């Protein structure tokens, strides 16, 4: 899975003011529903919340990969949001999270879902990319950091 195929400016937000786990998942669901006619906000939020009930998607280092499955989807939809300040998200390292890379996937794409998560996690394991995203002042800068092939 290619990150460039997943991310887009209309599904990216930078320095969002937010103070709770539920609120950031609502914001992500709003963005997904506004940019993809196949997604209903409530369905997206329920899918993300259901996954979080199984265990936090906060992978550490201030990063979370919220994800959920939707029967209505025909292809993967990604939403990238950074927050100011970082928020409590029950991450595995107990540190607050300020980078959210959420994906919503078609219900029947189990293998593709795992590959997509692995690709995103690999990209966000690169300290230089994470630093650039944290310092970004615009969604264009966030996208550029994620898609910069030279940073690999």
- Helix 139-147 crosses helix 127-135 at what angle (to 10 degrees)? 170
67 assigned to active site: yes
Given 21, 67, 113, 123, the catalytic residue: 67
Report the distance separating Cα 74 and Cα 7, nearest Å. 16
If we measure between CA atoms, which residue out of 28, 63, 33 comes closest to residue 49?
28
Report the distance separating Cα 27 and Cα 119, nearest Å. 23
Max intra-chain CA distance, the chain = 38
- The residues annotated with a catalytic role in the active site are 67
């Amino acid at each position: 899975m290619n990150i460039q195929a997943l991310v887009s400016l209309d599904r990216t937000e930078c320095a969002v003011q937010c103070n709770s786990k539920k609120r950031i998942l609502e914001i992500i669901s709003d963005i997904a529903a506004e940019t993809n006619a196949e997604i209903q906000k409530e369905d997206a939020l329920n899918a993300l919340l259901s996954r979080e009930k199984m265990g936090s998607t906060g992978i550490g280092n201030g990063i979370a990969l919220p994800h959920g499955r939707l029967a209505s989807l025909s292809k993967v939809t990604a939403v990238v949001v950074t927050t100011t300040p970082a928020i409590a998200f029950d991450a595995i390292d107990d540190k607050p999270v300020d980078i959210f890379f959420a994906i919503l996937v078609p219900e029947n794409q189990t293998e593709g879902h795992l590959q997509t998560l692995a690709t995103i996690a690999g990209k966000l394991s690169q300290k230089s990319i994470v630093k650039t995203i944290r310092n970004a002042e615009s969604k264009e800068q966030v996208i550029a950091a994620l898609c910069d092939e030279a940073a690999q």
